[in-house]
Structures are given as structure tokens and as C-alpha cells.
Amino acid sequence: MPNENCLKGISCPKCESEGPFNIRVSTMICVHDNGTDNEYGDLDWGDDSEIICRDCGHRGTVEEFRLNYEGHFKKIANQFAGDLADFQKEIVVQAGEEEWDSVQTTIDLLEEKIQQVRKILPRVRSVAVD
């Protein structure tokens, strides 16, 4: 079941777990010379906070675990478009030089990128609909 509260739109990019996660947070506490009075303030964390998946141990930033349509997927799509253009140029160069093994290797890498986008697309769509 997708997260609906604090972790909405967040899942592990490696194992797809939806949590729980360990997230490095910051807080303000009252400290006296002889210790604290244990009055904790709000816990703050953001996209640049460290996060660790408790299921598989994968670590990164919250932004890397976030599946928001506007940010994460557009970033992946733009990266993919750039990779595709680079692959097309490389294939033309390699084919012109008749380096057919290199052409096949480049095509294999392109297929791997396509599979990565296909794998993440349904997860992004499900978050975007909410």
C-alpha cells in the first residue's frame, strides 16, 4: 500500500520498499550546563537529508528516494533524452568506422537505459495520480 503521510512518494530505488527508513534529521533541544531537559523541538529533514532503507541498506538522499512526477521522473526523462542523443551520435560514428562490436555494445547500453525508464514509470504514474 503506497505511503500517504510523511513518506508519501518515497520508496527505495533499489528494492522498492516503502519504508520504514532511517532519515538523518535535525532538531533543536534545550541544553543547560548540566544537561538537557529533553524537550525536543520539531524534527526537520528535506531532500538533501541522508536516508537509509531498513530493508536492503541502500543509502542516498531523500531526493533520490522521492518519486514525485514533477521532479524525479522529469529528471530521469531529461537524462534519458540526453543519453539517447549521445547514443545516436556514438552509433553513427561507430557505424561509419565499421566498429560493429562497439555499435552492438552501445545499443545494449541504450536498451538497458530504456529498461530502467520502463521499470520506474509505473511507480511514478501511481504517485502522480494521487
Predicted local distance difference test score (pLDDT) of residue 126? 58
Residue 121 or 28, more confident: 28
Residue 37 three-state SS? strand
Q: In the block, which residue shows the cell 534529521? A: 25
What cell numbers appear for 56 in the block? 536492503
Predicted local distance difference test score (pLDDT) of residue 60? 92
Q: What percent of the chain has pLDDT over 90?
A: 15
Per-residue pLDDT tens over the stretch 55-97: 999 999 998 888 754 555 667 777 778 888 888 888 888 888 8
Name the residue ranges covered by the structural domains of the chain: 1-66, 69-129
Predicted local distance difference test score (pLDDT) of residue 69? 47
Residue 56 or 116, more confident: 56
